[in-house]
Amino acid sequence: MNALLSRLWSDEAGFIVSAELVLIATILVIGCIVGLSEIQHAVVSELNDVADAVGSANQSYFYSGASARKKGGQVKAFVRGSRFFDQMDECDNNQCDLSCDRPVAEGPKRSHY
């Protein structure tokens, strides 16, 4: 019995490997969380740039009308002109930022009864 206990006490096979795996797995998980957070911030930043580019596009247009007349001076066909002037919108040119509100303290709890 003493030899079995001594052999069990001195047997470290698997103990160090499992401790190393726990440490490596912990570091990998923390690294993945930080990496995914950075990817999220980069994607949001790039989408904000795309939104700024779309918001700065001038969508105004103008075209004049045309008409055709018969030999007697009567109008044979005509097309009216049109125009549209693009006005500055609320969120054009990065006027709106995506940000979190400041924390607000909770009020006292009330009973529903």
pTM of the entire structure? 0.47
Between CA 77 and CA 66 the distance in angstroms is: 8
Note whether 83 and 62 are within 8 A (CB). Answer: yes
- Measured CA distances, 6 to 2, 12, 14 (Å): 6, 12, 17
Q: Where are the beta strands (DSSP E) in 28-86?
A: 61-63, 66-69, 75-79, 82-84
Look at residue 97 and tell me whether its pLDDT is greater than 80: no
Mean pLDDT of the chain: 80
Which is higher by pLDDT, 107 or 7? 7
Look at residue 76 and tell me whether its pLDDT is greater than 80: yes
- H-run or E-run covering 55: helix 15-56
